[in-house]
Structures are given as C-alpha cells and as structure tokens.
Structure 1
Amino acid sequence: MGGSEGPACEAESRGKLAAYAALVRVPNLASAPPDVLLGGALVAAIGGRISIPALVGLAVASTLLYAGGTTLNDYFDAPIDARERPERPIPSGRVPRRTAGALGAALLVGGMLVALGTAGPRAGLFAAALAAVIALYDGVLKGGPAGFLAMGSARGLDVLLGTAAGATASTAALPAWALVIPIVIALYIAAVTYMADNEATTTERGAVAAAAAGVLLAVLGVLAAVVTLGPSLVRFAFAVGLAGGFLVWTGRALGPAYATPRPDTVGPAVGTCVLALVVLDAAFAALAGVGWALAVLAFLIPAVGLSRLFDVS
C-alpha cells in the first residue's frame, strides 16, 4: 500500500509544481533579465563601470517582479478566466486564488528588497516604481490605453533598473540616444499588449497591425541607434543582424494572425512577440559589445525551451 502512495504523492507534487510554473509564466521569466542586462549595456556603452554582483542581483529582482506581476494578473483575472480560460491554474482549482494573491504580493516585495539589497537605494526606487506600475496594471488599468502603456512602461522601467548596476555612471548621465531605447522597448510592448488584450476571444485585425507597427518601430530604433553611435563593424553587424532576425521571427507569427485573427493565431503571435523581446534587447545591447549581446541572447534558450511546455500568454 505504501508503494502505491509514493508514486501518487510524487504525481501530485509534480502537478502542483506545474500549476505554479504556469501561474508565473515560467518561459516569460527568462525575458526579464535581458532587460536588466540591456540597462547595464547602456551604461557600459558610455564608458561606465558595471558592478557584476549588482547586475546579477538586479536580474534576480527583475525575475521576481515579473513573476509577481503574472501571478497577480491571474489573481485579478480569475472571474474572467473562469469563463474564457478555465484551464488556467486558479479557475481549474489547482492554485487557490487567495494563495495566488499572497504569492504575487510577496514576489513584488521580494523583488524590491533584492534590488535594494544588491544595488542600493537608486535600484530600490526603480524596483518600487516598477512594482507600483505592475500592481496598477494588474488591478486597475488593464484593458484600456492606459493599461497598454502601463505594461510597456514596466518593460522600460526594467531596462532602467539595469542602469542602477552602474558603479560610475547614473541614469541621469545617459545620453539622449540611450534614454530613448527604454521608450522604444516600452512602445513595442504596449503595442503587443494591445494585440493580446482579447486574444482568447476576438481580436481586431487593427490590433495585430498595431503590434506589427511596434515591431517596425523597434527595428527603426535599432537602426537609429546604430547611425547615432557609429559602432565598430562587428558591433554594427551584430546589431543589424539581430534586428533583422527579430523582424523575421515576429513577422512570421504576425502574418497569419493578421490574415485570420483568431485565438489559435493571435495567441502564438503574442507569445512570439514576448519571447522575441530578448532578441531586440540583444540588438540594442550589441552597441556596447558582442559580449553583452551574447549574454542577453543566452536567455533565449530557456525561454524558447520552456515555451514548449508552458503557455507564454
């Protein structure tokens, strides 16, 4: 009898682990540290010195903040998910709603504390601002233009969070071209969020077109940064090549979504655009050096691998 209970308990534990992994959107978590690394790369690009321990700590903080955001998203969306996505962890009963709410809040607080403890007060302020935007999006702003911009702003703040790892340069010391990059990231994600707003039901073709416009804006942002900075040939090739890869990857997903906008085409397009942010981050990071670009791209491996097991959107 004991032998049969062992496998049953093990299966139950695996089921709970999978439920919480789905709740925090495990594949997406790998897209958070690249934002932070991009922030560090921007500081390095202007000759600033980066504290590696601080950068690592901020990457961990970013991951905790992202996990908190996705968890609170499902906490607030539980009534809607019960109708539209009953298979999700909370409506399916695999994760109690109250537990998800407490976990989401704890992850946000944990992210702020890690940022403060590893990179100092400036990082703590950025993390607090990021947590506030996340909470506002999840609880109040979702579903309208303010919500789309809030989600985009969260990604932009995530990039700025990475600049706090600079040991010799502050965010205020960044030139205009560097400060525009988080804005480009924010606008791209805002457009993707607009497309994702009704992905489980009906999506207007115009929403897909808006996401495509966000992609084009992002590529133009990379090209403008290259022209402005005038990097070496190798860095130029990496930045432009990665921007091209980003354009092709997202375009292949957005094409079918635009042709026939329905859940089975829009959902994958949203997921692709979220994961492709890693490539976009790497394209911008290449301006600081090939090493920075490769460090960012490394996160694409777990992101894509885990996306085969768990939903991204």
Structure 2
Amino acid sequence: MSTAEADRGSVTALAALVRLPNLFTAPPDVLLGAALAAAAGFAVGLPVLLGLSVASVFLYAAGTTLNDYFDAEEDARERPERPIPAGDVSERGALALGGGLLVAGIAVALVAAGPVAGAVAAALALAVLLYDAAFKGSAVGFLFMGSARGLNVLLGAAAAGVVPTALPSWALLVPAVVLCYIAGVTYMAEGETGESARGAVIAAACGTAVAALGVVGLVLALASTPTEVALAGLLLAAFLVWTGRPLRAAYADPTPGTVGPAVGACVLGLVVLDAAFAAAVGPAWALATVAFLVPAVGLSRAFDVT
C-alpha cells in the first residue's frame, strides 16, 4: 500500500469513528438555541455563534469517539468492521482523541462566548462522558443522551451570554422537548434487537409526537407571523414524513434491518426538527438551520450514522 493510500485509509477511519455525517447535526442545535435567545430579546453575535458551532462539533465528535472506545470489546464481537476492532484506529488513540476533543470543545466555547458557554459546554461534556462510560443501555443513559442534545441547544442560547435560567419558560421547554425526542431515539437504538424492539420503536414514535407538539406550542407562544407559521408547518410536515416512514417500517418488522435505518433517519431528522422550531422565530434562522441537512445526508451515503 502506498503512503497516499494509507493516508486516505486513516482519514476514512477517523471519519467513520467520529460519524462524519452526524457532525452536521450538531450546529443546528446551536442555531436553534441562538434563535430562542434572539426571540427572547437578547443579542447574538455571528462570530460567537460560529465559535459555539465549532465547539458543538468537537463535543459531538468526542462523544462518538469515546462511544467506540468504551464499546471496543462488544464491537469486536458484533461490529468488527468499525475502526477500532478493524485495527484502523487503536484504543489508546481513540481515547486520546476523544478526551482531547472534549477539552477542545469546552475551551472553544469558553473563548468564543465566555464563562456561561464554557459551563454549559462542560455540562454537555459530562453528560457525554457519563453516557459513554457508565450509563449506556439504561434508562438513565437514555436521559443522559437526550440531555446532551438539550444542553447543545442551551449552548446556542449561551451565545447571548446569559444563563439558561434567564430565558423565558417557553424557550426552556424547547431543549426539554429535544431531550425527550433523542431519549426515545436512543432507546430505540439500544433495543434494536430482541423482544423489546417494537416497544422501543413505539417509544421513539412517542418522542416524535412530543416534538411535533412542541413545535406547535412554540408557534403559539411566540404568536408567529403567517410566513413563520407556514414555514414551521412545512418543516414540521417534512419532519413527520422523514421520520414516520422508517418508524412505521420498523414497527411492522422490528429487525436490525429496519430499526437501524429508522434510528439513522431520526438522528438526521433532528436537523429538520430544529429548523421547524427555528421557523417560529424567523425564516432566516430556519433556512440557516436546515441547510446542514444537505452535507449530513450526502455524507450518510458513504458513512454510517448509527
């Protein structure tokens, strides 16, 4: 193998390790949080928002990397094609990369937006670490994974430099809804096989329904304009179609061949959900958010999402 081929192989292995398509689902959470802060009357600067988006990507990449590090033994039995059991990335290298990305995510958030953002990023990093290292597969673990996504939304709100408690109640309900949605999706991912698979799909569908109600609630709370209502409705319909079809297939035949794609669709569908929420604030927020779906979907054709 030539040096160029070896380098390409290393890059491909790292892209698979960090779940490259999924990285593009992290900034939409941040944009949604910033949109909520803006709707609450706080100023949000573009450079700060960009910095927090980068921090969010680092933290997400840390989570997927550490996930594979802690799952290395299980993956060697059940998913030998993954980078660590395949020998493309060493366990020590994955641990160093994951830990470094966690620290980098917190540091970038702190530098970009100050101590509030740094504290939210640290809480997010802790949720990621606890899920990966200790609580994966448990009810508490599902909540930790959902909390990580909810905190990612609050990270965006920290672009305004305000503590989460300074936000109005309607704004705080949005990350709570995202938490519920991702907790349900995580439960479905953990119940991919076995007798509980159909129940896990139902849990994810319930999370999807809660998410849809959340969008409607935000539109009503903000008294959105007709244009904002129409765009939010369009994006919400797209979200329900995007997730509904694979969820229905998974419920009808709950096997890894249907549940896995349903999990992937729900993960990518979070971008559309974020955009539907953001549309209640303004079309520009929604369009900026949903734009991340393009690279996420494109890259999902080459790299696994789950």
* TM-score where L is the length of structure 2: 0.98
Q: Secondary structure at the match of 1:311?
A: coil
| Distance (Å, rounded) in 1 between the aligned partners of 2:40 and 2:127 | 28
How far did 1:203 drift? 5.4
1:145 paired residue number: 139
Q: Secondary structure at the match of 2:68?
A: helix
Q: Secondary structure at the match of 1:165?
A: helix
1:227 and 2:211 aligned = no
Q: Which one of 34, 49, 58 corresponds to residue 55 of structure 1?
A: 49
Q: Which one of 97, 101, 116 corresponds to residue 107 of structure 1?
A: 101
Could you list the per-position Cα deviations for residues 94-128 of structure 1 after superposition, in whole angstroms to 9, with x for gaps in the alignment? 11111001100000000000000110000000000
Of stretches 235-244 and 289-298 in structure 1, the one that deviates more from structure 2 is 235-244
The 8 Å contact of residues 50 and 166 in structure 1, kept in 2 or not, is answered as yes
How far did 1:200 drift? 6.3
Q: What RMSD, in angstroms, separates the aligned Cα atoms of the two structures?
A: 1.2
1:272 and 2:265 aligned = yes
1:260 paired residue number: 253
The 8 Å contact of residues 21 and 300 in structure 2, kept in 1 or not, is answered as yes
Equivalent residues in 2 for 1:1-313, closer than 5 Å: 8-166=2-160, 170-199=163-192, 204-313=197-306
| Distance (Å, rounded) in 2 between the aligned partners of 1:289 and 1:235 | 6
How far did 1:173 drift? 2.6
The 8 Å contact of residues 22 and 268 in structure 2, kept in 1 or not, is answered as yes
Could you list the per-position Cα deviations for residues 19-45 of structure 1 after superposition, in whole angstroms to 9, with x for gaps in the alignment? 010000000000000000000000111
The 8 Å contact of residues 61 and 112 in structure 1, kept in 2 or not, is answered as yes
| Distance (Å, rounded) in 1 between the aligned partners of 2:123 and 2:255 | 35
Could you list the per-position Cα deviations for residues 261-299 of structure 1 after superposition, in whole angstroms to 9, with x for gaps in the alignment? 111111110000000000000011112110000000110
The 8 Å contact of residues 36 and 171 in structure 2, kept in 1 or not, is answered as yes
The 8 Å contact of residues 191 and 200 in structure 2, kept in 1 or not, is answered as no
Amino acid aligned to 2:97: L
How far did 1:198 drift? 3.7
Identity across matched positions, percent:
60
Structure showing greater Rg:
1
Amino acid aligned to 1:65: L
Residues 132 and 170 of structure 1: CA distance in aligned 2, closer, same or farther (over 3 Å): closer
Could you list the per-position Cα deviations for residues 129-164 of structure 1 after superposition, in whole angstroms to 9, with x for gaps in the alignment? 000110000000101100000000000000001111
| Distance (Å, rounded) in 2 between the aligned partners of 1:202 and 1:61 | 39
The 8 Å contact of residues 203 and 262 in structure 1, kept in 2 or not, is answered as no
Of stretches 288-297 and 203-212 in structure 1, the one that deviates more from structure 2 is 203-212
The number of aligned residues is: 306
The 8 Å contact of residues 195 and 203 in structure 1, kept in 2 or not, is answered as no
Amino acid aligned to 1:152: G
The 8 Å contact of residues 200 and 267 in structure 1, kept in 2 or not, is answered as no
Q: Which runs of 5+ in 1 are unaligned?
A: none
* TM-score where L is the length of structure 1: 0.95
Q: Secondary structure at the match of 2:159?
A: coil
Q: Secondary structure at the match of 1:58?
A: helix
How far did 1:170 drift? 4.5
| Distance (Å, rounded) in 2 between the aligned partners of 1:98 and 1:248 | 42
Amino acid aligned to 2:299: L
Residues 227 and 193 of structure 1: CA distance in aligned 2, closer, same or farther (over 3 Å): same
Of stretches 119-128 and 203-212 in structure 1, the one that deviates more from structure 2 is 203-212
The 8 Å contact of residues 201 and 263 in structure 1, kept in 2 or not, is answered as no
Could you list the per-position Cα deviations for residues 55-106 of structure 1 after superposition, in whole angstroms to 9, with x for gaps in the alignment? 1100000000000000000000000111110100001111111100110000
The 8 Å contact of residues 282 and 296 in structure 1, kept in 2 or not, is answered as yes
Amino acid aligned to 2:143: L
